[in-house]
Structure 1
Amino acid sequence: MKIKNNTLDIIALSSSLICALHCVAAPVVLSLATFSSMHFLANPIIEIIFIVLGLVFVLTSLWPSYNKIHRKLKPLQFATLGFIFIGLARLHFTDLWEISNTIIGTLLVSLAHYYNWKLLRFRVHHKQ
């Protein structure tokens, strides 16, 4: 269980950071005339896929780690707060609103997975 959750946290952390980079890079890349054919980067389906993947990783990594191993709420709180920011970003008030809330949200979800990974490592090192 420990190795599976560590791997899931690393994958989830990576995907959250990739999502944050996507949110930062897509508007910049799309604003450059020579890259205007890369409009697929702003596709809402890609955004939905990342959000669903994030939820899957929370349910398969953070929740079992909390429930069966460390019983620390902080990773779940960070993830919940992150998804609240991501949800607020979906309101699309302005581009700045969407981008900033999405980046804050994905960084909070990344932080949740990082913190969970650290808790699992601490637990493994102190169990031996």
Structure 2
Amino acid sequence: MLDRIGITATSLCALHCILLPVILPALPLLGLSFLADHTWEHVFLIITGVLGSIAMFSGFKRYHKKLYPFYLLIVGLVVYWMKHDFSEQAEPFFIIIGATLIVAAHVINLKLCNSCKRCADHTCSS
């Protein structure tokens, strides 16, 4: 379940970052100008990282004993976090790469958990 939440959260965060320049002028009119603040973005990314870490650790400990989904998550979070260190033109590429790595980590973790022996025997919960 945490992997599905992580995939959704990461996808929403990426959409937020990519669409922000388009909707930025309308945010104050809607009372949502706080969404344009980098602090909001970093808080959301930290929450995504915490949820992702819990999901990866849970899958590792309970089912598959593989660390590479966690590594993908960390690299994705670092790439996403660093996007402000580069030009505005490069930011969308960092968003797409970071979000793709984070989503891939969750998808791989989910597949590894679902392919474990206990899950194949239908003795564990999804």
| Range class of TM-score, shorter chain | 0.7 to 0.9
Query: Which stretch of structure 1 is more off in the superposition, 101-110 or 35-44?
Result: 35-44
Is there any run of 5+ residues in structure 1 with no aligned partner, and where? 1-6
CA RMSD of aligned residues (A): 1.9
**Is the Cα contact below 8 Å between 1:20 and 1:103 reproduced in 2?**
yes
Spell out structure 1 runs of 4+ moving beyond 6 A: none
**Is the Cα contact below 8 Å between 1:20 and 1:107 reproduced in 2?**
no
Residue in structure 2 matched with residue 81 of structure 1 by the alignment: 75
Is there any run of 5+ residues in structure 2 with no aligned partner, and where? none
Question: What TM-score do you get using the length of structure 1 for normalisation?
Answer: 0.79
Cα deviation 1:100-124 (Å, max 9, x = unaligned) = 2123112211111111111112225
Secondary structure, counterpart of 1:96 in structure 2? coil
From 106, 115, 124, give the equivalent of 1:122.
115
Matches within 5 A, 1:42-81: 42-81=36-75
Cα deviation 1:42-64 (Å, max 9, x = unaligned) = 11122012111122112211022
Question: What TM-score do you get using the length of structure 2 for normalisation?
Answer: 0.80
Residue in structure 1 matched with residue 13 of structure 2 by the alignment: 19
Percent identity, aligned pairs only, is 28
Matches within 5 A, 1:86-101: 86-91=80-85, 93-101=86-94
Report 1 or 2 for greater relative contact order, CA contacts < 8 Å, sequence distance ≥ 6: 1
